[in-house]
Structure 1
Amino acid sequence: MNNLKRKVIFALCSIGMNLLIQPAVVAAYSEPVEQALIVATKTQALNQNIDALLNKYDLPGLVLKIKHRGEIIHYSAHGKVNVDNDKPITKDALFRIYSMSKPITAFALLQLVDSGKISLEDDIRTYLPKFQPFEVDGVKQVVTIHQLLSHTAGFGYGGGIKNWVDIRYLLANPLSRNNTLEDLVNDLSGIDLKFAPGEKFEYSIASDIQGAIIEKVAAMPLDTYLSRNIFTPLNMKDTHFSVPTEQAERLVDMYEYDAGTFEQAYIFNKEKILFVEKGSDSKFLEKPTLLSGGGGLISTATDYSQFVSMLLNRGKHNNAQLLSEELIDKMLSSHTKGLDTHFMPRVYNGTGFGYGIGIKEVTGDTRKQGTFFWGGMGGTIFWGDPQSELEVVAMMQVEDGWVGLEKWLIPQVYQLINN
């Protein structure tokens, strides 16, 4: 039984026993009891608000886990796996976390820096020599591990037709699920960088290249490395690149929010929430050849909360230091100050990018300076606010719904913890 439950039970018992308890004793306990009742009332209000949000916009289910000062203060599952049937979503539901894979991969690469196997200033071609020399406008460039981690290396995601580099990405299709990480490197080799390394930030395929380096340096598949060095130590037993056969029914259905722009995505629009895929039909039920460190993982709110807690605890978990405090500080510091930060100003105020993770450079949207955060395209979000001693993991499966979910949830959470 956690402290909150004990306090509430005590409060209820106090009401029934008040004639038998001396006034001085009642006074001694009245403040914590009152506080517990306030928290319980706020928690109930948050639950009601979440249910109202899901009902108003015909959204599928949400799992939310909040810790404050090291204790779980809210852990709930709301709504249904599919809005058109009665199967309730459960706390152990499995979600496609997409880009919430990136902080995990960055952390893994930093572990290799910590062990002295690589250096932040190393040329990435030291470990991936099959990459042809990088060029921008015919000028050769060097890409470092630091630039790869901070997404300032000059890579893109491609897929558009705005420029020749993006078209090259589209034609090469490096993120094919049938590729190995070595294939991914081969597909990218020879494509020009989009800009000179260090010149600006662009969200990119860099996290997948990090995975390729991890495989080379650690001499093992990426999934094996992550399992041994992150998932097992953190007891993240449900985080994988595919859903185990015996757990298939836990993978939720997928929806999408066809908002069009970031600005339109700030608030949900019921008419643009569209069903996409049943969990039972998902490609995530089969292990891919491509172990995508940029977007390939499935997980649960509980598992990911373990990872966030460890980051908030400066790399430490159960008396084990998974990453040095020095490198945790580097990971959770902005490396993009003064640079063009791609799409981020359209979504986040006063934000930069650390190593695989967003960083609040200034206090804003009620989150304090130093808050680290990110989201996944599939509708999952998290943040850790060291100044507020707060961590939040929210999982919903609505593609491109992460913007609306975050905008709605942030004030709700801070109302819960503020007096």
Structure 2
Amino acid sequence: MELAQRIDGAIDRAIDEARIVGSVVMVWREGQPVYQRAAGFADREAGRATQLDTIFRFASVTKPFVAATALAMIDQGLLSLKDRVSDYLPWFHPPGPDGRTAEIVIRNLLTHTAGLNYRPGAGVLPPHDPVLIGLENTELTLEENFSRLNTVPLSYVPGTAWEYSIATDILGAVLSAIDGGSVEDAIRRYVFSPLGIADTGFVAVDGERVAVPYVNASPAPRAMDEPERVPGPYDVVYCFSPARIFNRHAFQGGGGGMAGTAGDVIRLLEMIRKGGDGVLKPETVASAIQNQIGALNVRPGVKFGFFGAVTEDAALDNSPLPDGAVSWGGVYGNRWCYDPATGTVAVAMTNTAPEGCDGAYPFDIWRAVFDL
């Protein structure tokens, strides 16, 4: 079966089985587009079909853009992996697990080894006044939100464990402080502008192209409420706010605050595939797509680089991705991957959570892409 038939089959099954409302899938190999398709609805109730330039809420697909910005600034000598976060953000100084001063460095933020998590303040701060993780609508600034963690001990000594976390939000704040503008100003200067990325940002660039977000339900996904609370893994409850992407006053959360197109994600991944493409040094990219957490694990068979997870043993992980692939996703319903061995970059964007990120859909797409 040809590539297009395999991917079409995976998309059609997900839509026919009411697991996905709308999706855009793009696959490039060795710098050439080999597949692209928009399927289903961006707005089912209005009958608006998904288009190749439909804008999706990224959630954690935001993270590799922030990571690339940080690495570009490191390449230009503006900061280093060993720099202490508190040197740039005097307002952020959570204590260590023992209550004493902890030292978080930039490397810890890039690799999610900073002692932070996605339950910030749980068990310490009042439940009615939580630290926001970047999906919720808000008028708070980065400092107003995250400085509240200064009374919350870290989950572990930085560098001694791996835990997915709000670290990239803090990294975005560091980049903003160094660059002197907003988080998006820094990303635009070092990543968006050099790569010609114009449809992605912390506020939707064109509201008419933004997909309506849906949450999986029976018998079919329903449009998200405002807000929409969805249970996630590790006792996390995601509080989605579809309106946030239209709020210019919400803090620019580097961990999950942007929205954009599949094509813009491809542009970022192609930069990585090409070894930096003038944005990053080749040796920086080579390092960023390798294991950066040593003996620690994301899970058995999976490590973490600077952009995302690194599959070291696909069989152990029961993964459709090949060994050496770099990948991650976004809880609004998105996944991306890069396979250095075949020069393949692929994006599967949807407007349906959690299926598009954590359900069978993206992994069916990867099986189709890699013919497994």
Q: Secondary structure at the match of 1:288?
A: coil
2:335 counterpart residue number? 381
Give CA-to-partner distance per residue, 1:348-377, whole Å, 9 cap, x none.
Answer: x61111124111122443422221111000
Give distance in 2, aligned partners of 1:148 and 1:49: 35
Q: Secondary structure at the match of 1:136?
A: coil
CA contact (8 A) 1:351 1:362 kept: yes
CA contact (8 A) 1:157 1:169 kept: no
Give CA-to-partner distance per residue, 1:231-290, whole Å, 9 cap, x none.
Answer: 12111110011113xx211111111136xxxxxxxxxxx537332159xx7331232330
Give distance in 1, aligned partners of 2:243 and 2:130: 24
2:350 counterpart residue number? 396
1:46/1:127 CA distance change after superposition, 3 Å = closer
Q: Secondary structure at the match of 1:391?
A: strand
Give CA-to-partner distance per residue, 1:212-243, whole Å, 9 cap, x none.
Answer: 11011111211111112211211111001111
CA contact (8 A) 2:168 2:255 kept: yes
Deviates more, 1:299-308 or 1:321-330: 321-330
| Deviation of 1:330 (Å) | 2.7
1:146 counterpart residue number? 107
| Deviation of 1:127 (Å) | 1.1
CA contact (8 A) 2:109 2:167 kept: yes
1:326 counterpart residue number? 283
2:303 maps to a residue whose letter is G
1:411 maps to a residue whose letter is R
Q: Secondary structure at the match of 2:42?
A: coil
1:327 maps to a residue whose letter is T
Q: Secondary structure at the match of 1:374?
A: strand
Give distance in 2, aligned partners of 1:335 and 1:168: 35
Give CA-to-partner distance per residue, 1:119-156, whole Å, 9 cap, x none.
Answer: 21121111112233632223332111111111101012
In our comparison, the structure showing a higher alpha carbon Rg is: 1
Q: Secondary structure at the match of 1:171?
A: coil
Question: Going by fraction, where is helix more abundant, 1 or 2?
Answer: 1
Q: How does 1:269-418 map to 2 (within 5 A)?
A: 271=219, 273-277=221-225, 282-316=243-277, 321-339=278-296, 341=298, 345=299, 350-364=301-315, 365-401=319-355, 402-404=357-359, 405-415=361-371
Give distance in 2, aligned partners of 1:146 and 1:152: 8
Give distance in 2, aligned partners of 1:137 and 1:359: 32
Find the partner of 1:89 among 45, 50, 72.
50
With a CA cutoff of 8 Å and minimum separation of 6, indicate the structure with the bigger relative contact order.
Answer: 2
1:216 maps onto 2:173 in alignment: no
Give distance in 2, aligned partners of 1:59 and 1:142: 43
CA contact (8 A) 2:183 2:252 kept: yes
Q: Secondary structure at the match of 1:189?
A: helix
Give distance in 2, aligned partners of 1:315 and 1:110: 10
Give distance in 1, aligned partners of 2:364 and 2:107: 34
Give distance in 2, aligned partners of 1:43 and 1:57: 21
Give distance in 2, aligned partners of 1:114 and 1:58: 42
Give distance in 2, aligned partners of 1:58 and 1:363: 25
2:358 maps to a residue whose letter is V
Q: Secondary structure at the match of 1:333?
A: coil
CA contact (8 A) 2:204 2:260 kept: no
Q: Taking structure 1 as the reference length, what is the TM-score of the superposition?
A: 0.77
Find the partner of 1:105 among 66, 80, 83.
66
1:71 counterpart residue number? 32
Give distance in 2, aligned partners of 1:237 and 1:231: 7
Q: Taking structure 2 as the reference length, what is the TM-score of the superposition?
A: 0.86
Give distance in 2, aligned partners of 1:113 and 1:214: 10
Q: Secondary structure at the match of 2:147?
A: helix
RMSD: 2.4
Give distance in 2, aligned partners of 1:227 and 1:117: 16
CA contact (8 A) 1:200 1:339 kept: yes
1:228/1:98 CA distance change after superposition, 3 Å = same
1:173 counterpart residue number? 131
1:403 maps to a residue whose letter is D
Give 5+ residue unaligned stretches, structure 2: 227-241
1:283/1:120 CA distance change after superposition, 3 Å = closer
Give CA-to-partner distance per residue, 1:41-74, whole Å, 9 cap, x none.
Answer: x424532442232012252111110011221010
Give distance in 2, aligned partners of 1:305 and 1:357: 15
Give distance in 2, aligned partners of 1:155 and 1:307: 26
Number of equivalent positions: 350
1:72/1:329 CA distance change after superposition, 3 Å = same
Give distance in 2, aligned partners of 1:88 and 1:305: 21
Q: Secondary structure at the match of 2:248?
A: coil
1:257 maps onto 2:216 in alignment: yes
CA contact (8 A) 2:94 2:149 kept: no
Give distance in 1, aligned partners of 2:94 and 2:363: 42
Q: Secondary structure at the match of 1:65?
A: strand
